[in-house]
């Protein structure tokens, strides 16, 4: 999945669930399916993207994201976090930006996220992903501080 219109922190988060080929036909089908399954309008879809930046995300939006993240292999069919994929994607990002973040620390942080469970059905799968977004935010700050020093 490639969500090219994400900004700032969402750029990192979206890179975790994107591929270099851009949006494929399969991606488009998944977007449509998840939107329909959750009764979302185009405006709701835009709101779901912006809600990731704050804590105003609704259960419907969580279910939408869980649907997409499952379709793209970021969340397993049982609702658990795909830890292997998360570690790989973060490692690629870390290597690309030459960020200091040890493999052990990364694996530990991702494993900690995988243990988190929310209350509602969709929140149980979304809560670990939200934790990954927090890791993404920390990485974003490291990227920005590196860019400022070298810019």
Instruction: Look up residue 100 and give its two tokens.
Output: 């200091």
Tell me the pLDDT tens digit for each residue of 78-137: 889 999 989 988 888 888 888 888 999 999 999 999 999 888 888 888 899 889 888 888
Tell me phi and psi for residue 125, to 5 degrees. -90, -30
Separate counts of helices (H) and strands (E) for the chain = 7, 0
Q: Which residues does 73 contact at the CB level (< 8 Å), separation at least 6?
A: 82, 85
Q: Which CATH number is 8-150 given? A: 1.10.238.20
Distance between CA atoms of 111 and 135, rounded to whole angstroms? 12
Tell me the pLDDT tens digit for each residue of 49-65: 777 766 688 888 889 98
pLDDT at 2 over 50: no
Please tell me the predicted confidence (pLDDT) of residue 149.
55
Q: Is the dihedral of CA 75, 4, 44, 32 positive or negative?
A: negative
Q: Delimit the domains of the chain by residue range.
A: 8-150
- DSSP line for 18-84: --TT-S-HHHHHHHHHHHHHTT--HHHHHHHHHHTTSS---HHHHHHHHHHHHHTTSB-TTS-B-HH
The DSSP output letter for 118 is -
**Is the pTM value of this prediction over 0.85?**
no
């Amino acid at each position: 999945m490639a969500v090219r219109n994400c900004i700032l922190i969402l750029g990192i988060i979206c890179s975790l669930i994107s591929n270099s080929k851009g949006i494929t036909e399969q991606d488009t089908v998944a977007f449509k399916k998840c939107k329909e399954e959750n009764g979302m309008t185009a405006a709701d879809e835009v709101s779901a993207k912006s809600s990731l930046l704050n804590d105003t995300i609704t259960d419907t939006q969580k279910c939408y994201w869980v649907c997409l993240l499952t379709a793209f292999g970021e969340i397993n069919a049982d609702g658990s976090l795909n830890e292997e994929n998360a570690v790989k994607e973060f490692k690629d990002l870390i290597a690309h930006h030459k960020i200091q973040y040890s493999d052990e620390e990364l694996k530990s942080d991702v494993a900690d996220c995988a243990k988190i469970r929310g209350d509602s059905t969709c929140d149980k799968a979304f809560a670990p992903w939200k934790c990954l977004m927090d890791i993404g935010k920390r990485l974003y700050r490291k990227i920005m501080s590196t860019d400022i020093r070298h810019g």
